[in-house]
Amino acid sequence: MVVDGNVERVIARLACLPDPVAESKPRIRELADGLTPDARCGDYAQAMMDLGATICTPRNPQCLLCPIRSACAAHRAGQPEAYPVKRARAAKPRRYGAVYWLEQGAASC
């Protein structure tokens, strides 16, 4: 099955995967393959991509319109937007600097 970003998001929500997508790719692939039917697998792959693009969107997923809502763990948990889990951002380093000002000759007032 083709697994694009939309499918990754849908699968991550379906299974409430606890890790960010980058670390979950093998598990997402495994789950996606397990869900793919033998018959009309191309139509199924397209449907999953369309679901991710139109209903299971990154922000504000339309769970009430979703045809797989009853199987979705993130929906049951009441927080679909929390998935896929985002990687914690590294703290930005604080940088310090010093400025020196040199003048030649006497200062005039």
Residue among 1, 45, 53, 63 that touches ligand SF4 (CB under 6 A): 63
CB of 46 to ligand SF4, least distance (A): 16
User: For 55-61, which contacts have Cβ atoms below 8 Å and span 24 or more sequence positions?
Assistant: 56/6, 56/9, 56/10, 56/13, 56/80, 58/9, 61/13
Instruction: Give the count of residues interacting with ligand SF4 (CB under 6 A).
Output: 15
Alpha carbon distance 9, 58 (integer Å): 8
* The token pair that represents 87 in the structure block: 């990687």
Residue among 14, 16, 31, 49 that touches ligand SF4 (CB under 6 A): 14
Q: Applying CB under 6 A, does 49 fall inside the site for ligand SF4?
A: no
Q: Applying CB under 6 A, does 74 fall inside the site for ligand SF4?
A: yes
Pick the closer one to ligand SF4 by CB: 59 or 95: 59
Pick the closer one to ligand SF4 by CB: 33 or 81: 81
Q: Applying CB under 6 A, does 66 fall inside the site for ligand SF4?
A: yes
Segment interacting with ligand SF4 (CB under 6 A) among 6-14, 27-35, 84-92, 99-107: 6-14
Alpha carbon distance 22, 82 (integer Å): 16
